Chain A
Amino acid sequence: MSSTGPNSKQLQRKAAMTVLAHAAAADIAGRLAAIAVPAHENLREPENGLVMLRGRIGGDGAPFNLGEATVSRAAVRLATGEVGFGYTLGRDARKAQMIALCDAMVQSAELSGEVEAKVIAPLRVAMNAERGRKAAETAATRVDFYTMVRGEG
């Protein structure tokens, strides 16, 4: 797969958004402080709203409406023209705005390497470490059955 194809770009943006959505706003802000943020403007002012969360009947069947969640969104345009979108669960509109800014930078040929190395990558390490910690704690509660021989066998 070419690393410049439109699909691979979209996958890269989604992968970055996943990491950012999982990160705390303060951690994203901390990482962004370490790079030179390019000139940009808000294309959509950061705002709060709701999404209806959907499940599937039986886990794998037709969709149904489970209940809503708070969500924040924003859109940012760099002075160089790239438009980034930010969406995240919760009511922290500033976080959505930072995600939009990072998404715009991921799309910029000049900036994507730096934002990946200095913002996304360290946050991804933290996300995976947290997942690993939970998985290890969970694994310790796995039942290991052993069979006791009863009767004459």
Chain B
Amino acid sequence: MYVAVKGGERAIENAHRLLAHERRGDRDVPEVTLAQISEQLALGVDRVMTEGSLYDRELAALAIKQARGDMIEAIFLVRAFRATLPRFGATEPVNTGEMQVRRRISSTFKDVPGGQILGPTFDYTHRLLDPQLAEGFVPEQPATADASQAATPRVTDILGRDGLIESSPQADSNTPVGDLTREPLSFPADRDLRLQNLARGDEGFLLALGYSTQRGYGRNHPFAGEIRFGEVEVEFFAEDAGFAVPLGSIELTECQMVNQFKGSTTEAPCFTRGYGLAFGQSERKTMSMALVDRALRARELGEEAAAPAQDEEFVMSHSDNVQSTGFVEHLKLPHYVDFQSELGLLRKLRQEFAEANEAVEMQEAAE
């Protein structure tokens, strides 16, 4: 129970004024711009867009600035902004097979058609702090090479041609696409809802769960079949225009995890899959998502589901960092009345305890 307490208004107002001052920091230091955040802290912006579940670089940059770099607070701000605009509808599903690839690697096939394309990556860096970056560093222009016209088919499509991997579940035209922003979660949840939940889920939470499956809590032998990052075109069926209109392109990262086999007396054994997709360049996120997606398929694949990452109710109920932080941080709000009643109960229990002890002592003394 919460109780309204008057008298805090002035303190709150001044606290927010102080927050604004602290947010600005030393006023002799130039103010950071949204373009600087978007361009130079790009992966932070990608994370806020992904977990804020809203693709808009400028808004995500503003949220990071307003939140003083607190990513979960920024995600919270972006989620709240969503509620201020009407939704026109849903886009046509994006085709990641036609991505203008900026990075594309496979750890399963060295000579994957289209090639191993490293793109801008932290991989193979030495993870040594670079003092040059402290100020005024001007990087070299990127190297260029003749772009190949060769297609970059998905690795899973290549495996699928020989039947070596399960095919993706196809749409059932009678079932609408689940949307957890419109209907409350219920269990068991279908894979479309699970993927939506994981896509906006906390990266750290999913990373830990994905890691737990590798350490043996729901082991399923993953290989990074393919990770790709780049631009995909988005189309939206506009009823007024009467056809699917192009909206422009967005940056996405996709991870296809290839996992150990399934099979039965009627079905030849084949690899199984886990899938990850996120806004921007979000490699760790999509890899973790794909591991957890695969773990959550335990029931469907007839596996024993004993590990946390395989428990959809546990995973889906705790993956959302806005919900989590809301409930954890609400403990800061006044609970004075709640606490008074607990305090009263505790005093009563202690008194009973003391009286009982006194009685025992008197009895012992009498004997």
Whether A64 contacts B192 in the complex (CB less than 8 A), given A54-B90, A54-B91, A69-B56, comes out as: yes
Tell me if B169 is interfacial: C-beta within 8 Å of chain A: yes
List CB contacts (< 8 Å) of A31-52 with chain B.
44, 48-52
Please report the C-alpha to C-alpha distance between residue A138 and residue B91 in the assembled complex, in whole angstroms: 28
Decide if B116 touches A68 in the complex (CB within 8 Å): no
Please report the C-alpha to C-alpha distance between residue A141 and residue B49 in the assembled complex, in whole angstroms: 27
Tell me if B115 is interfacial: C-beta within 8 Å of chain A: yes
Whether A55 contacts B277 in the complex (CB less than 8 A), given A21-B248, A50-B82, comes out as: yes
Tell me if A118 is interfacial: C-beta within 8 Å of chain B: no
Partner of A91, one of B56, B102, B168: B56
B109 to chain A, nearest CB (A): 11
List CB contacts (< 8 Å) of A131-152 with chain B.
131-143, 145
Partner of A21, one of B56, B110, B246, B252: B246
Contact string against B for A residues 1-37, beta-carbon threshold 8 Å, 1 for contact and 0 otherwise: 0000000001000100110011000000000000000
List CB contacts (< 8 Å) of A78-132 with chain B.
85, 87-91, 131-132
The DSSP consensus for interface residues of chain B is: mixed
Most B CB within 10 A of own CB, among A10, A22, A67:
A67
Q: How many residues of B contact A (CB 8 A)?
A: 83
A5 to chain B, nearest CB (A): 14
Given A64-B196, A90-B248, 19 more pairs with CB closer than 8 A: A18-B246, A49-B88, A50-B88, A57-B192, A59-B168, A59-B254, A60-B168, A62-B171, A64-B195, A67-B54, A69-B234, A70-B56, A75-B240, A141-B103, A141-B117, A142-B145, A142-B148, A145-B110, A145-B111
29 contacts between A and B (CB under 8 A): A21-B248, A50-B85, A50-B88, A51-B91, A51-B234, A51-B247, A52-B91, A55-B195, A55-B277, A56-B94, A59-B256, A59-B275, A61-B170, A62-B168, A64-B178, A67-B196, A67-B279, A69-B55, A69-B91, A69-B250, A71-B88, A85-B241, A87-B236, A87-B238, A132-B147, A136-B144, A137-B142, A141-B119, A145-B116
Q: Which B residues form the contact surface with A (CB < 8 A)?
A: 49-50, 53-56, 58-59, 82, 85-94, 96-97, 100-103, 110-111, 115-120, 142-148, 154, 156-157, 167-172, 177-181, 191-193, 195-196, 199-200, 233-234, 236, 238, 240-241, 243-250, 252, 254, 256, 273, 275, 277-279
Q: Which A residues form the contact surface with B (CB < 8 A)?
A: 10, 14, 17-18, 21-22, 44, 48-71, 73, 75, 85, 87-91, 131-143, 145
